[in-house]
């Protein structure tokens, strides 16, 4: 979906009645996803030779997303300490092997450890900057950003015309798409609605979790079915395009066709691992306990937001970010002042 079509969609919402004047457009930023894209892409150093691509690029991109979506509220969500532990209890190999290779090839870093230290320093600094802005920054120990975003993007919806916009390159979020939730993937520069997901993947949104379960996710070390690829999936399971399905429906198809192709037999043989995949990737049931949900509910209700532009500018000048953001004082007023309110 292009920006023009998205704006048309939003215009149609606003034309439905006067009560929609108070409708919400809530922006959810996958914080680490946004940071790492900038860290990997922007080879920028300040006058002291310190890499600032992740830090400066993060806020430049944040401002661009706010201009693009024109939200009424902004959340920035990060993985907490030990965030993968819940899923590692399901699949021990989950996300194993990450952080063992450099994500850049620039001479500014001497080695992997040097690059890692820079990542950590810049992420900590990003969070310090965010505390000066009227956005809701959310981090929970042992909880992944995916689960928090999945929960909050539905929680904030109160009226039929309310919209949640999730900004991330992580395909897992596509399973959340519905009439109220839109995903924007910066890597594609594409909005995903129910219609655009159907158009690209040739299946209803409800079936996308089955797509992920069967194909796995190499980036998270989740194995799919051997011999089954994206192109062959709909040939083996045309039903995914024809109707909404459950996991049990997939198994029934395999039971009826296991003699026809080895892929069906492999699914039946590996059903235990595949069901773990499903549980691992199913964002319709976020891995949150009652206390975590209660905390997130309090975040939604909170109206107490900071807007301290002078502190942001002090950090900006201290880090010598220079012209990484053009006209930074105007950028602050234009993007963030409208969100500054208190109870």
| Contact call for residues 337 and 133 (beta carbons, < 8 A) | no
Phi, psi values for residue 287, rounded to 5°: -80, 80
Tokens at 277, concatenated: 């995949």
pLDDT tens track for 60-78: 999 999 999 999 999 999 9
For residue 110, give both structure tokens: 């001497």
Residue 219 CA to residue 326 CA, distance in Å, equals 35
pLDDT tens profile 121-176: 999 999 999 999 999 999 999 999 999 999 999 999 999 999 999 999 999 999 99
Q: Look at residue 207 and give its three-state secondary structure.
A: helix
pLDDT tens per residue across span 12-47:
544 444 444 578 999 999 999 999 999 999 999 999
- Please state, in angstroms and rounded to a whole number, the distance separating the CA atoms of residues 62 and 41: 15
Residue 104's pLDDT band, with cuts at 50, 70 and 90, is confident
The pLDDT of residue 198 is above 60: yes
pLDDT of residue 109: 87
- Tell me which range, 221-230, 303-312, 333-342, is most confidently predicted by mean pLDDT: 303-312
- The mean of the pLDDT values for the chain is 89
- pTM of the entire predicted model: 0.88
Query: How confident is the model over 262-300, as pLDDT tens digits?
Result: 999 999 999 999 999 899 899 999 999 999 999 999 999
């Amino acid at each position: 979906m292009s920006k023009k079509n998205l704006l048309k969609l939003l215009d149609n919402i606003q034309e439905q009645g006067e009560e929609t004047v108070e409708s919400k457009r809530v922006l959810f930023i996958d914080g680490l996803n946004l940071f790492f894209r900038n860290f990997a892409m922007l080879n920028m150093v300040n006058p002291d030779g310190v890499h600032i691509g992740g830090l400066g690029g993060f806020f430049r991109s944040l401002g661009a997303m706010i201009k693009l979506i024109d939200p009424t509220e902004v959340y920035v969500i990060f993985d907490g300490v030990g965030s993968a532990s819940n899923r590692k209890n399901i699949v021990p190999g989950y996300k194993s092997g990450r952080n063992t290779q450099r994500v850049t090839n620039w001479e500014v870093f001497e080695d992997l450890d040097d690059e890692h230290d820079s990542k950590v320093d810049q992420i900590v600094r990003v969070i310090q900057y965010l505390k000066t802005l009227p956005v809701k920054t959310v981090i929970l120990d042992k909880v992944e950003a995916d689960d928090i975003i999945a929960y909050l993007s539905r929680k904030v919806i109160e009226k039929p015309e309310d919209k949640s916009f999730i900004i991330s390159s992580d395909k897992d979020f596509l399973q959340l798409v519905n009439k109220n939730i839109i995903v924007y993937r910066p890597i594609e520069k594409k909005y995903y609605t129910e219609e655009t997901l159907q158009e690209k993947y040739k299946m209803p949104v409800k079936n996308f979790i089955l797509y992920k379960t069967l194909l796995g996710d190499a980036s998270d070390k989740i194995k799919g079915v051997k011999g089954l690829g994206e192109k062959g999936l709909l040939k083996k399971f045309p039903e995914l395009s024809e109707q909404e399905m459950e996991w049990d429906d997939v198994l029934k198809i395999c039971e009826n066709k296991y003699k026809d192709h080895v892929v069906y037999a492999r699914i039946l043989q590996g059903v235990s691992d595949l069901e773990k995949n499903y549980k691992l990737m199913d964002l319709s049931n976020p891995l949150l306990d009652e206390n975590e949900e209660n905390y997130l509910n309090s975040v939604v209700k909170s109206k107490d937001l900071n807007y301290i532009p002078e502190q942001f500018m002090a950090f900006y000048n201290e880090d010598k970010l220079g012209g990484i953001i053009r006209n930074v004082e105007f950028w602050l007023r234009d993007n963030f002042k409208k969100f500054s309110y208190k109870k």
